[in-house]
């Protein structure tokens, strides 16, 4: 059975909401014309009974209202973030490793060397420095591992889910509730709630619900590069990870998981490349090997870093953990430096439009190719 939010027209609503917010910043004539067109579409949909499609123009009108009435909130800074930063720098970690941990844990990159930041951007690893779904996923996975014994008691399963949700949102608060963190926390929450209720959820709908939540709370977030890159990356993963993976999840789960280590970064990079090109004027060339290696190293690094903070805050010895964190950090820094190769790009409006059209056509081609191969395999079988 599908989760309730998977039955609502969240995708057209999210697109309509985004268009309404963008339209509010357009010239007055365009805003008025868009509002009139939206009202006409709502009337037409109500007359013809197109409830699903009607979500888009209704949301567009809501986006216009939100953009004109809701002020941009002040950046949130968790009170506990300063304590964590002090704990990390008081631990046996080296200076650069401590700066990296605080950047990836509470979004405090004040002491992170600029050269290191440039290496991570040039190698396509900038997403590791910006708190996102990768970090939230590790936190959720760690809490699920620690609470696994609770599965033995059926009554404790919901308590386990509540603990995971609490950990995810606590982490989002520590990270300052950035758009990428809220997006990941909302999607993770919907996935956990669906699992606890014995239902399945649509990843696309969950992504759209996350967009609606963020834009309703902070309409100006749509202009945030972090918001754009976060949603584009997840959309790219959802769009390309399956068609780029040559193995079937059910028949070859292990090979499928291994191939996903290649398919996921390719999908995310394809979708974010036009935005990265416009904003930074450069594109990383060796992102694939860099992401594969960093993907292997970052999970143990982050788990050990979290353990280090916990032990250090309790005043317990953690020298060996600090040594391990230092060592893994050094490997990641060397990886970023070794693959820091990028090319300059000049993205004009025409080039941006061409890039988007090319990505869409590539997805259509790959989808057609994979479905044809599947049909052929069924016929041969």
Same domain, 256 and 173: yes
Asked if 353 and 204 sit in the same domain, the reply is: yes
- Rounded distance, CA 370 to CA 378, Å? 12
Percentages helix, strand, coil for the chain (3-state, rounded to 5) are 80, 0, 20
Task: Answer yes or no: is 124 within a domain.
Answer: yes
The pTM is what? 0.89
Of 67-76, 162-171, 284-293, 352-361, give the lowest mean pLDDT range: 67-76
pLDDT of residue 56: 82
Selection from 259, 321, 304 nearest residue 138 by Cα: 304
Residue 143 covered by a domain? yes
Beta bridge partners of 342: 284
Last residue of a domain, one of 69, 92, 117: 69
Q: DSSP characters for 296-353?
A: HHHHHHHHHHHHHHHHHHTT---HHHHHHHHHHHHHHHHHHHHT--EEE----HHHHH
The answer on pLDDT for 219 being more than 90 is: yes
Structural domain includes residue 254 = yes
320 and 192, same domain (yes or no): yes
- Read off φ and ψ for residue 107, nearest 5 degrees: 60, 35
Please give the structure tokens belonging to residue 298: 């970052």
Number of domains in the chain: 2
**In whole angstroms, what is the distance from residue 274 CA to residue 355 CA?**
7
**Residue 260 to residue 248: CA distance in whole angstroms:** 11
Same domain, 175 and 59: no
Closest to 105 in 3D by CA, of 293, 297, 305:
305
State the average pLDDT for the chain. Answer: 86
97, two tokens: 């490793």
- Write out the DSSP string of 137-206: HHHHHHHHHHTGGGGGSGGGHHHHHHHHHHHHHHHHHHTT--HHHHHHHHHHHHHHHHHHTT-B--HHHH
At 375, is the secondary structure helix, strand, or coil?
A: helix
Question: Quick check: is 74 in a domain?
Answer: no
Give the position of tokens 């268009």. 19
Last residue of a domain, one of 69, 91, 115: 69
- Domain check: are 105 and 187 in the same one? yes
Q: Provide mean pLDDT across the span 171-189.
A: 91
- Secondary structure of residue 94 in the 3-state scheme: coil
pLDDT of residue 381: 56
Q: How confident is the model at residue 374 (pLDDT cuts 50, 70, 90)?
A: low
pLDDT in tens, 70-119: 888 887 788 888 888 999 998 889 889 999 999 999 888 888 899 999 99
Q: What is the pLDDT of residue 339?
A: 95
Tokens coding 334 = 């060397």
88 with 58, same domain? no
What is the per-residue pLDDT across 359-371, written as a single tens digit (0 to 9) for each? 989 888 888 888 8
Residues 6+ apart with CB under 8 A from 289: 339
Residue with tokens 């600090």: 322
pLDDT recorded at residue 323: 94
38 shares its domain with 88: no
- Tokens for 311, please give them: 């032990």
Backbone φ and ψ for 2, nearest 5 degrees, come out as -80, 145
Same domain, 41 and 92: no
- Cα separations (Å) of 246 from 135, 240, 255, 370? 27, 12, 9, 8
Given a contact cutoff of 8 angstroms between Cβ atoms, the answer to whether 183 and 133 are in contact is: yes
Residues 28 and 119 in one domain: no
Q: What was the pLDDT predicted at 246?
A: 83
Tell me the pLDDT tens digit for each residue of 242-281.
888 888 777 787 888 888 888 899 999 999 999 998 888 8
335 lies in the same domain as 302:
yes
Query: What pLDDT does 368 receive?
Result: 85
pLDDT of residue 5: 61
**pLDDT-wise least confident of 38-52, 192-206, 333-347:** 38-52
Instruction: State which residues form the domain around 334.
Output: 79-380
- Claim to verify: residue 33 and residue 165 sit in the same structural domain: no
If you search the block for the tokens 């959820």, which residue do you land on? 201
């Amino acid at each position: 059975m599908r989760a309730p939010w998977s039955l609502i027209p969240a995708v057209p609503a999210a697109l309509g909401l985004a268009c309404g917010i963008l339209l509010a910043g357009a010239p007055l004539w365009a805003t008025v014309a868009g509002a009139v067109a939206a009202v006409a579409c709502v009337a037409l949909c109500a007359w013809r009974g197109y409830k699903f499609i009607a979500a888009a123009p209704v949301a567009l009108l809501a986006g216009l209202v939100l953009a004109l009435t809701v002020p941009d909130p002040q950046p949130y800074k968790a009170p506990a973030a300063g304590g964590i930063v002090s704990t990390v720098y008081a631990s046996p970690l080296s200076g650069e490793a401590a700066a990296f941990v605080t950047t990836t844990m509470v979004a405090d990159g004040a002491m992170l060397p600029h050269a290191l930041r440039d290496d991570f951007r040039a190698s396509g690893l900038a997403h590791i420095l910006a708190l996102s779904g990768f970090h939230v996923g590790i936190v959720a996975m760690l809490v699920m591992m620690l609470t696994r014994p609770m599965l033995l008691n059926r009554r404790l399963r919901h308590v386990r889910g509540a603990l995971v949700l609490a950990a995810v949102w606590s982490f989002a608060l520590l990270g300052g509730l950035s758009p990428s963190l809220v997006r990941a926390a909302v999607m993770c929450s919907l996935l956990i709630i669906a699992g606890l209720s014995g239902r399945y959820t649509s990843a696309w709908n969950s992504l759209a619900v996350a967009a609606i939540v963020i834009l309703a709370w902070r309409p100006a977030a749509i202009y945030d590069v972090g918001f754009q890159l976060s949603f584009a990356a997840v959309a790219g993963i959802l769009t390309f990870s399956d068609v780029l993976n040559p193995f079937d999840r059910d028949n070859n789960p292990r090979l499928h998981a291994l191939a996903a280590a290649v398919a996921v970064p390719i999908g995310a990079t394809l979708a974010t490349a036009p935005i990265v090109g416009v904003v930074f004027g450069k594109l990383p060339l060796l992102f694939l090997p860099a992401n594969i290696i960093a993907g292997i190293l970052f999970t143990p690094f982050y788990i050990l870093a979290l353990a280090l903070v916990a032990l250090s805050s309790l005043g317990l010895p953690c020298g060996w953990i600090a040594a391990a964190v230092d060592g893994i950090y050094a490997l990641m820094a060397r990886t970023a430096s070794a693959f820091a190769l990028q090319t300059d790009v000049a993205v004009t409006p025409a080039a941006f439009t061409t890039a988007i059209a090319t990505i869409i056509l590539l997805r259509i081609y790959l989808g057609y190719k994979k479905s044809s191969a599947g049909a052929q395999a069924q016929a041969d079988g």
